Amino acid sequence: MSKYKIEIDRNLCIGDGACVGEAPNTFEMDADNIAIVKDVGGHTDEEILQAAQVCPVDAIILTDANSGEKVWPKS
């Protein structure tokens, strides 16, 4: 189980697919070409963070599941 709560801001996502390229077991594109979470445990926490960081519009929001602290994007 990931230490992150993963959210995707559907209004920000531009369908770049970089997250899928980095972590295809965790993310996929839906019928509207918007990223969705396929499996929160599909990759290591480090790989999920990397996938969030390559998003060109910071549409992937990672929150620490235990503390509730926002991990990415940095404010």
pLDDT tens string 5-53: 999 999 999 999 999 999 999 999 999 999 999 999 999 999 999 999 9
Residue whose tokens read 């509207």: 32
Give the Cα separation of 10 and 64 in Å (integer): 20
Residue 48: its pLDDT value, please? 97
Domain of 49 in residue numbering reads as: 4-72
Residue 71: its pLDDT value, please? 96
CATH code of the domain covering residue 10: 3.30.70.20
Give the Cα separation of 50 and 5 in Å (integer): 15
State the total domains in the chain: 1
Q: Does the N-terminal peptide bond of residue 73 adopt cis geometry, omega within 30 degrees of 0? A: yes
